[in-house]
Structure 1
């Protein structure tokens, strides 16, 4: 397909666009799976459209992600000057919050909008204040995406929301990716915030509806704070939670299992999941992937089948 649409404006959307825009030479020095690299070597993609329903100041990607978009060997980044403009309400919210990531994003977006197109073989179009309303069929498959342009309006809570206008357009698309976030699902007997799609918690300690700690229950990552950030964010998030676990351990605020030994815990895990992977097993898998990568001057060559991973782990 020559024209691809990616719905969403976060880091995952940028990841999809990056893979589609990079050349095989750029990708083959990464840890991308061999079968994916083989498929991408046959790519006919010429245009990639990233669609964001709100403006540059509300973009969910991080500064390093948007910066890399302008460094592709054979793809130009295109942003309409009119869509790069930050509206007055967004600017005020930026000024009040002093969100450094958002400010940096806006600076980069503004620079891209002013950049002259170099005429590279592939074109990346980053759109703001647009929402898809219809997938248009052509010969039994998607042939285009109909868009509605949005205005940003302050709601009763002082938050900017995208409100559809009557301005429509159609862009060609033979392939559409949906990358609009994640919503956590509740577990039995685990306190859950339905509005946010997260486990009820304070800093990682699970709490009940009254705000009282649920002893022995902790959370980290997106199910703790919602779908935001990158791997580094999750690391910091987990460290916060583990810090609270250690505090609770010091004051004996924890479960008191009938069989508290590590051996008993291992036996329980094995009974429930015989194919579980220990840290020692993971290290074997990691070492094997890195070793496979050395031959082709790559960081690693990933296993893509669980059976292959388990074979290495059990060796």
Structure 2
């Protein structure tokens, strides 16, 4: 019997468990650990609440979770409840699938001012992540600045711009919905250091901005390159730029309450304020060999809320080598050291889509199979259970999660799929545990 421990129950974790089942069938036991009492990681707390179709992939993970060979072990923090070394003593292979839940810092003066947030915390706030449920952003100023030119920046801008009615069918948590309902934000500026041809925004997400009921997107035609240059783009980028050209052609947004402005060739230089953020200082840029270079021309955008959507990094774990520059675990194609591996964003950094993690999971299982052969006779699941009993670690299993799931669905407001618990204690109570 081979015993595999996977740390992290998001897409990378469950795809790796699925790959292990296909590789070894009944000759493997997989325990999937998570700090929270609830599974699915990014699907639950990272995917935008109004993108319910994407969240449907969790049904695939549930199929894996309900097999006899796979167990969800929630409410257990590796590095706090037990160490990596202890986990390696118990399992033939330990796979870190912890994702990249932490914001990269801007590295700018003033970024620690109140009401300046990273996207992980802001998205966690409206998605009901227990670590960020108490964020309480002030939405009393008329202007918000969103820094970044990727899909997360679009998600944040869209959530800020939507009307109450447009959240029907979403699982946005009630505390965020109430705050957004009284929001005074009427201008959302999306800052990008480079131009329209360099954005990392996909066509679907950009296209959604054209269908908001009370908001409209605006692009300065002067920021757009010659249309003939679009031919050099790949099809997806070309579609995205086509949306930007349509936003520019539509002109002013006189009949809408909220405007979403794309400010290209604009690099933030400092966050300005005393007791809280009051403005963002910006330097105009130009492209040189595809890189943004400052021109020396600066201007200020008055703003009461700033959200930086510039990327993420993996959480460090004691005694695990870390690549500071890449924001991930130091590894050689997924191998960290004998018996210890990483997969998904923890391996390659925050790149790719949810589906990208599936081949990643299968690839790491092939490496594990090469390394461990028939297994080494380690204690595996029974050994961990004995250690958990000894230390008083309360495990939340998948059957417990199903009770939490039922309670969230039962508590949903009209038209919503669920009302998430945002406190770990409430989750554990809903599971029928103390």
Map 1:27-176 to 2 at 5 A: 27-85=167-225, 95=232, 99-119=234-254, 120-137=256-273, 140-154=275-289, 160-176=290-306
Distance 1:48 1:254, change over 3 A: farther
Structure 1 moving runs of 4+ over 6 Å = none
**In structure 1, what is the Cα distance between the partners aligned to 2:174 and 2:218?**
30
Distance 1:193 1:9, change over 3 A: same
Q: Which moved more, 1:30-39 or 1:55-64?
A: 55-64
Matched-pair contact (CA < 8 Å) for 1:28–1:37: no
**In structure 1, what is the Cα distance between the partners aligned to 2:431 and 2:287?**
52
How far 1:186 sits from its partner (Å)?
Answer: 4.8
Q: 2:347 aligns with which of 212, 221, 224?
A: 224
How far 1:269 sits from its partner (Å)?
Answer: 4.9
Between 1 and 2, higher relative CO (CA 8 Å, sep ≥ 6) is seen in 2
> What SS does the corresponding residue of 1:314 show, helix, strand or coil?
coil
How far 1:114 sits from its partner (Å)?
Answer: 1.6
**In structure 1, what is the Cα distance between the partners aligned to 2:226 and 2:192?**
14
RMSD between aligned residues: 2.9
**In structure 1, what is the Cα distance between the partners aligned to 2:204 and 2:392?**
39
In the other structure, the counterpart of 1:277 is 396
Distance 1:151 1:272, change over 3 A: farther
Distance 1:250 1:313, change over 3 A: farther
How far 1:217 sits from its partner (Å)?
Answer: 2.3
> What SS does the corresponding residue of 2:245 show, helix, strand or coil?
helix
**In structure 1, what is the Cα distance between the partners aligned to 2:193 and 2:227?**
14
Matched-pair contact (CA < 8 Å) for 1:288–1:312: yes
How far 1:148 sits from its partner (Å)?
Answer: 0.7
Q: Which moved more, 1:78-87 or 1:248-257?
A: 248-257
TM-score between the two structures when normalised by the length of structure 2: 0.60
Distance 1:228 1:248, change over 3 A: closer
In the other structure, the counterpart of 1:234 is 354
Distance 1:141 1:202, change over 3 A: closer
**In structure 1, what is the Cα distance between the partners aligned to 2:390 and 2:204?**
44
How far 1:182 sits from its partner (Å)?
Answer: 1.6
Map 1:229-268 to 2 at 5 A: 229=352, 233-246=353-366, 248-249=368-369, 252-253=372-373, 256=376, 258-260=378-380, 262-268=381-387
Map 1:181-200 to 2 at 5 A: 181-184=311-314, 186-200=316-330
Unpaired segments of 5 or more residues in structure 1? 155-159, 208-213
Distance 1:257 1:130, change over 3 A: farther
**In structure 2, what is the Cα distance between the partners aligned to 1:54 and 1:272?**
52
**In structure 2, what is the Cα distance between the partners aligned to 1:243 and 1:270?**
34
Q: Deviations over 1:155-181 (max 9, x none)?
A: xxxxx2211112222222122222221
> What SS does the corresponding residue of 2:208 show, helix, strand or coil?
helix
2:426 matches 1:314 = no
**In structure 2, what is the Cα distance between the partners aligned to 1:270 and 1:129?**
57
Number of residue equivalences: 292
**In structure 2, what is the Cα distance between the partners aligned to 1:243 and 1:299?**
35
**In structure 2, what is the Cα distance between the partners aligned to 1:81 and 1:273?**
63
2:422 matches 1:304 = yes
How far 1:86 sits from its partner (Å)?
Answer: 6.7
In the other structure, the counterpart of 2:335 is 206
How far 1:22 sits from its partner (Å)?
Answer: 0.2
Matched-pair contact (CA < 8 Å) for 1:290–1:301: yes
TM-score between the two structures when normalised by the length of structure 1: 0.81
Q: 1:288 aligns with which of 402, 407, 414?
A: 407
**In structure 2, what is the Cα distance between the partners aligned to 1:269 and 1:66?**
47
**In structure 2, what is the Cα distance between the partners aligned to 1:180 and 1:254?**
43
Unpaired segments of 5 or more residues in structure 2? 1-140
In the other structure, the counterpart of 1:25 is 165
